[in-house]
């Protein structure tokens, strides 16, 4: 419906009405337009036939239906109120017209129009519908009785009465037919739109089902991939855990360390970031001196762990096989070994380690130390000192085998009780605390000083508790290794005991000899 006349009944887009409200809008719009036109015609007829009161009354009726139409097109939710106003205007108009012109004028027929309109929109307010219907019926009965007993207030020509009689029958019939047809049209249109919406919803539902099927298929594929990844991850993790067992077998056990330094004179705090570690520590006795090493290899996890095995192997070769025990010379030899290992080729490997090495010469009461970027902190007579290692690491591929700086050897007098700590940078570089900052080396040294007089087992506990509290469940950023040793020159030396690792090696060899012979 796109012509100018029918556009009077179309819902303005600005109202944004739901489909259920289109029918109510249509009834009120139809009532407004038909009421306006009908009362305009009545105004002319009453003026022609000199019915003065009804002429003036119809001016108010015309304005009433014009206002009803305007409000309906510019507001939402006032359908019941507007129908109620229109219905009572028709009832009052019928009362005055029948009283003035008589029953034969057929103005009482308009009393059926309010009942029709309230039937169509009465669901919104049933009380208003009941009042309008009851009023229409009561007025109809009253007028029928009154006109049967009394004469009309005015008398007009037979032509006039015939005109009103025919016109009113035609008008009421037309109103009923127009309202019913238009209501049916709107209802049918709404039904078609609902069907269209339903079809669109079905199409959307079909698309959603297709999407869900594709999603289910993708989910199944992801689940299969997840299971494959889980299996692969388990296999990798199992391999890494087995590598951990190998790494732990290489590291000195706590029994080895106690046999070497005494039950109450040594402690270690060793905390890998991942399953395997890029840190390692080494301790053996050679030529009457005890040699200790604490190293931090490049990286952590599996790459770092592989370097720890290389570093441990080199130390065994340099110290145990070649008999080199001077810390600076050990570092020089390590530099040569690593440079030769990664020399040339196309792999551009520049891995290595930061390492500190100490030698305890109990006979001469000296502690020899050399470090490649790693320090040593020692405490004597309530005074703490730190010796920093040289500012170069072990294992730079760019170093030429015959031209590199040698490492510095330091000596410490240990004729008095001494506690010293060798450590990697993992502890001091750990982020944490309230401000998520590093722990820093200064705080670590202060921690050493605060705990150095406690038993070694308590020192280890204090180091671990402080580290866990500082992390505050944050992710560990690097491997951590701290090795603490007490030296008391007044302590009587105990007979040398066979190290646990040496004892295990000896027992294995004895078993093999029995099998052979």
User: Left (φ > 0), alpha (ψ -120 to 50) or beta: where does 50 sit?
Assistant: left
Binning pLDDT at 50, 70 and 90, where does residue 411 land? very high
Q: What is the mean pLDDT of residues 342-359?
A: 74
Four-CA torsion 81, 87, 90, 94, nearest 10 degrees: -140
- DSSP character for 12? P
Residue of 165 and 241 predicted with greater confidence: 165
Q: How far is CA 503 from CA 90, 282, 283, 498, 499, in A?
A: 119, 17, 16, 6, 6
Task: Name, in order, each residue with C-beta under 8 angstroms of 404's C-beta and a sequence gap of 6 or more.
Answer: 335, 339
pLDDT at 380 over 80: yes
pLDDT of residue 408: 94
Q: What is the mean pLDDT of residues 118-125?
A: 59
At 57-106, the pLDDT tens digits run: 999 999 998 998 888 888 877 877 888 888 888 889 989 988 998 898 88
pLDDT of residue 221: 86
Binning pLDDT at 50, 70 and 90, where does residue 397 land? very low
pLDDT at 298 over 60: yes
Can you give the three-state secondary structure of 283-339, one letter per residue? EEEECCEEEEEEEEECCCHHHHHHHHHHHHHHHHHHHHHCCCCCHHHHHHHHHHHHH
Binning pLDDT at 50, 70 and 90, where does residue 464 land? very high
Q: What is the mean pLDDT of residues 295-310?
A: 80
Q: What is the mean pLDDT of residues 8-18?
A: 68
Name the average pLDDT for the chain. Answer: 83
Q: What is the mean pLDDT of residues 179-191?
A: 68
pLDDT of residue 274: 83
Alpha helices in 358-403 (DSSP H): none
pLDDT of residue 204: 86
Q: What fold does the segment set 251-516 form as a domain?
A: Phosphatase 2c; domain 1 (3.60.40)
Percent of the chain with pLDDT over 90: 34
User: Left (φ > 0), alpha (ψ -120 to 50) or beta: where does 58 sit?
Assistant: alpha
At 259-293, the pLDDT tens digits run: 999 989 999 999 988 888 889 999 999 999 999 99
Decide if 26 contacts 79 (C-beta within 8 A): no
Domain with CATH 3.60.40.10 in the chain: 251-516
For the ranges 43-57, 390-404, 422-436, 437-451, the lowest mean pLDDT is seen at: 390-404
Binning pLDDT at 50, 70 and 90, where does residue 502 land? low
Percent of the chain with pLDDT over 70: 82
Here the tokens at position 297 are 């290899």
Q: What is the mean pLDDT of residues 45-56?
A: 89
Q: What is the mean pLDDT of residues 252-261?
A: 91
Closest by alpha carbon to 389, among 420, 440, 434, 355?
355
pLDDT of residue 321: 93
Binning pLDDT at 50, 70 and 90, where does residue 192 land? confident
Phi, psi of 480 (to 5 degrees): -125, 130
What is d(CA 238, CA 365) in angstroms, rounded to the nearest whole number?
Answer: 47
């Amino acid at each position: 419906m796109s012509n100018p006349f029918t556009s009077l009944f179309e819902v303005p887009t600005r109202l944004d009405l739901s489909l259920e409200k289109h029918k109510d809008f249509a009834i009120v719009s139809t009532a407004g337009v038909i009421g306006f036109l009908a009362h305009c015609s009545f105004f002319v007829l009453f003026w022609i036939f000199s019915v003065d009161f009804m002429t003036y009354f119809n001016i108010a009726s015309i304005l009433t239906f014009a206002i009803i139409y305007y409000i309906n097109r510019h507001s939402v939710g006032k359908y019941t109120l507007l129908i109620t106003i229109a219905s009572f205007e028709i009832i009052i108009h019928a009362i005055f017209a029948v009283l003035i012109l008589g029953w034969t004028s057929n103005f009482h027929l308009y009393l059926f129009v309010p009942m029709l309109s309230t039937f169509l929109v009465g669901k919104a307010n049933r009380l208003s519908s009941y009042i309008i219907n009851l009023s229409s019926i009561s007025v109809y009965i009253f007028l029928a009785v009154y006109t049967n007993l009394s004469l009309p207030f005015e008398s007009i020509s037979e032509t006039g009465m015939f005109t009103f009689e025919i016109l009113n029958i035609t008008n009421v019939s037309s109103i009923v037919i127009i309202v019913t047809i238009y209501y049916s049209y709107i209802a049918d249109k709404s039904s078609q739109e609902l069907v269209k919406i339903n079809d669109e919803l079905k199409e959307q539902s079909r698309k959603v089902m297709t999407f869900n099927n594709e999603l289910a298929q993708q989910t199944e594929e992801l689940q299969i991939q997840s299971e494959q990844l889980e299996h692969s991850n388990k296999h990798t993790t199992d391999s890494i855990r087995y590598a951990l067992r190998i790494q732990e077998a290489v590291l000195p056990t706590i029994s080895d360390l106690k046999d070497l330094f005494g039950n109450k004179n040594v402690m270690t705090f060793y905390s890998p970031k991942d399953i395997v570690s890029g840190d390692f520590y080494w301790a053996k006795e050679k030529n009457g001196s005890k040699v200790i090493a604490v190293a931090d290899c490049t990286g952590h996890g599996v790459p770092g762990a592989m370097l720890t095995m290389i570093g441990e192997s080199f130390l065994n070769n340099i110290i145990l096989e070649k008999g080199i025990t001077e810390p600076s010379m050990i570092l020089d030899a390590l530099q040569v070994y690593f440079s030769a290992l990664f020399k040339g080729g196309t792999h551009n490997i520049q891995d290595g380690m930061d390492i500190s090495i100490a030698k305890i010469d109990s006979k001469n009461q000296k502690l020899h130390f050399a470090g490649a970027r790693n320090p040593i902190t020692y405490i004597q007579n309530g005074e703490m000192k730190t010796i920093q290692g040289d500012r170069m690491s072990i294992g730079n591929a760019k170093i030429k085998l015959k031209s590199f700086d040698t490492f510095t050897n330091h000596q410490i007098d240990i004729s008095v009780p001494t506690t010293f700590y060798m450590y990697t940078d993992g502890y001091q570089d750990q982020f944490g605390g309230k401000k998520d900052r590093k722990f820093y080396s200064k705080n670590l040294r202060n921690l050493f000083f605060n705990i150095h007089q406690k038993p070694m087992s308590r020192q280890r506990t204090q180091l671990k508790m402080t580290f866990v509290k500082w992390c505050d469940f944050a992710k560990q950023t690097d491997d951590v290794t701290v090795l603490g040793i007490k030296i008391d020159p007044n302590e009587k030396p105990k007979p040398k005991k066979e190290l646990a690792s040496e004892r295990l090696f000896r027992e294995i060899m004895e078993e093999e000899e029995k099998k052979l012979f």
